[in-house]
Amino acid sequence: MDNVLERIEQTINKIRPYIRRDGGDVELIDFTDGVVTVRMYGACVGCMALDYTLTEGIEAILLDEVPEVKSVKLG
């Protein structure tokens, strides 16, 4: 499991600069039963594009790079 968490964190770190560029940030909170829980900060809070960022950005790359991940949700 630790290896999975490491790979999830490494993947999130790949997209973090793009999120920060727009004034936000993302933090890994949990990984249970294939579901990654993240918390969004800064400009991401209340952003109209948050759902898109979550599904088309964070979730898409995690699904591609970490086979154990089934979905991503806000926590």
Question: Considering its fold, how many domains does the chain have in total?
Answer: 1
Global pTM reads 0.91
- What's the pLDDT at 3? 93
Residue written as tokens 């920060």?
Answer: 20
CATH classification at residue 69? 3.30.300.130
pLDDT above 80 for 53: yes
Q: Domain limits at 10?
A: 2-74
Least confident stretch, 1-10, 36-45, 53-62: 1-10
How far apart CA 38 and CA 30 sit, in angstroms, is 7
